[in-house]
Chain A
Amino acid sequence: MKPLVEGLEKSYAGKVEFRRLNIESDQAAVKLADTMGVQYVPTFVFVNSNGVVAKNVVGEMTQDALSSGVSSLK
């Protein structure tokens, strides 16, 4: 999924923050995943600017679905 997400990151540069968290190597990522109840990878968490989770998607996503999810964030 890395190329897809990186492509989107360029498209939304300055408007949306992208965080790619490796839960094998990053303990802070593991802690956050636990807090958020993430059990499977990949999981995509769409968060509005006020910190409220708008949507969780477990599993691979198409570019269109990712783009649609990101563009709907407020």
Chain B
Amino acid sequence: MKKATIWIVVAVAVVTMALLAFRPAAGGVKTVDAAGLIAAQSKGAQLIDVRSKGEYDLGHIAGAVNVPLDTLQVAAANWDRNATYVVYCASGVRSSQAVQIMTSMGFKNIDHFAKGVNEGWTAPLESSDGSSGSSTVQTSGKPVLIEFYTDS
């Protein structure tokens, strides 16, 4: 009888550990496109722009807060783990790292705008001087190469 009890305890422990090991990653990380980002934002998700301040100032998605990747761990320490966050950067590299960081910190609902603003966002961006509908670098709809130079 004693032996059977021990086996039952061991079995329960093994099953519990297996369930913990194979549970879905931290409640949900999903990749979203621009439409998914807008939908999430309309439901109250917070947009997190993990690019540098300079990049953010030049143009960001309206409503996003700037939390550069290297400051994320500290900044997010007191954030609500159950709230939904949409994370993005320029091309998806830094935001992927941000998702890993936030997942490891226990955040349960993370939407990853993996294409980033360079490829995945075509609507006008907002610049940090408060102007909406244009970025600091005004374009005529074409890519631009700017060369700053001096004659000397």
Chain A interface residues toward B at CB < 8 A: 1-2, 5, 8, 15-25, 29, 32-33, 35-38, 41-54, 66, 69-70, 73-74
Contacts and interface: CB of A to CB of B under 8 A. Distances in A.
11 contacts: A18-B144, A19-B144, A20-B147, A41-B149, A45-B145, A45-B148, A47-B139, A47-B143, A50-B124, A51-B58, A54-B90
A32 to B, nearest CB: 8
Nearest to B135: A51
A16 B135 contact: no
B59 A17 contact: no
A51 B150 contact: no
Contacts of B125: 50-52
Main secondary structure of the interface of B (DSSP, over half): loop
A50 B117 contact: yes
B145 A48 contact: no
A36 to B, nearest CB: 7
B147 A46 contact: no
B149 A1 contact: yes
Given A21-B147, A41-B149, A74 B54 contact: no
Given A37-B54, A48-B118, A51-B136, A22 B142 contact: no
B149 A51 contact: no
